[in-house]
Amino acid sequence: NAGVMQNPRHLVRRRGQEARLRCSPMKGHSHVYWYRQLPEEGLKFMVYLQKENIIDESGMPKERFSAEFPKEGPSILRIQQVVRGDSAAYFCASSLGRTYNSPLHFGNGTRLTVT
Amino acid sequence: GQQVMQIPQYQHVQEGEDFTTYCNSSTTLSNIQWYKQRPGGHPVFLIQLVKSGEVKKQKRLTFQFGEAKKNSSLHITATQTTDVGTYFCADPYGGSQGNLIFGKGTKLSVKP
């Protein structure tokens, strides 16, 4: 059973470009979460999706950031017009059910560098 | 949502010494989860504690949930270099929709 797959592992973008981060959850998991981690810092919740629905996006900046989890295909975290402050590791995680019953399984992350 | 506080932020130990990290909440937790992240890696689930006063062991790791369910601890006996990493506690009810909210973590370094 393949784990959570994220790609790309590393992404370099120039200021003003768009970044698209992909995440395929574990087989059978319909809950997807995105977290951001700055160097030497903790995991900051961004958004929680469940097949075609955004359940909670309270941790996501209102501008430039969007996320989706279509019926078919991976979840996408999209960052428009990237700035240097967007440089971070972005982790996707999936779970079988709500987190109080099901632990999160994380992908290897996408390290975004904005130059 | 509430946030769980972890201390210490950093811990440096000599190989063979014990290590403990603490997780505290101002409100009662329904349950708590622990994760480990190796340097350069991704968080990996270790355990979930549910019951008041619960104690669970995984080899040299001992996890405790306080009687009042407001604190938790992770104790590692006789640390090894493979224990290096950051240990996070997480509250499954920390977010407004029940999404997992992590403490800031305790970074453990082990000197051989």
**pLDDT by residue (tens digit) across A5-35?**
999 999 999 999 999 999 999 999 999 999 9
pLDDT reading at B55 higher than 90? yes
Tell me the three state secondary structure of residue B82: helix
Is the bond into B39 cis (omega within 30 degrees of 0)? Answer: no
Segment A28-81, tens digit of pLDDT: 999 999 999 998 788 999 999 998 899 999 999 999 999 999 988 999 999 999
Chain B contact probe: residue of A7, A99, A102, A110 with most B CBs at under 10 A: A99
What is the maximum span of chain B, computed from C-alpha positions, in angstroms? 43
Least confident of A78-92, B55-69, B83-97: B83-97
Q: Can you tell me the mean pLDDT for B25-47?
A: 94
Alpha-carbon distance B18 to nearest alpha carbon in chain A (angstroms)? 23
pLDDT at site A14 = 98
Chain B interface with A: residues with Cβ < 8 Å: 30-31, 33, 35, 41-45, 48, 88, 92-93, 95-105, 107
Q: Is there a contact between B45 and A103 if contact means CB atoms under 8 Å apart?
A: yes
pLDDT bracket for residue B22 (50, 70, 90): very high
Alpha-carbon distance B106 to nearest alpha carbon in chain A (angstroms)? 9
Instruction: Give percent above pLDDT 70 in chain B.
Output: 95
Q: How many CB pairs below 8 Å do chains A and B form together? A: 61
The tokens for B18 are 């014990």
Contact by Cβ (8 Å): A76, A32? no
Please give the mean pLDDT across all residues of chain B: 93
Of B30, B96, B104, the CB nearest to A58: B96
Among chain A residues, the shortest Cα distance to B48 is held by A103
Distance between CA atoms of residues B77 and A113, nearest Å: 38
pLDDT at site B110 = 97
The tokens for B48 are 């979930």
The tokens for A26 are 């574990």
pLDDT reading at B101 higher than 90? no
Q: Is there a contact between A98 and B48 if contact means CB atoms under 8 Å apart?
A: no
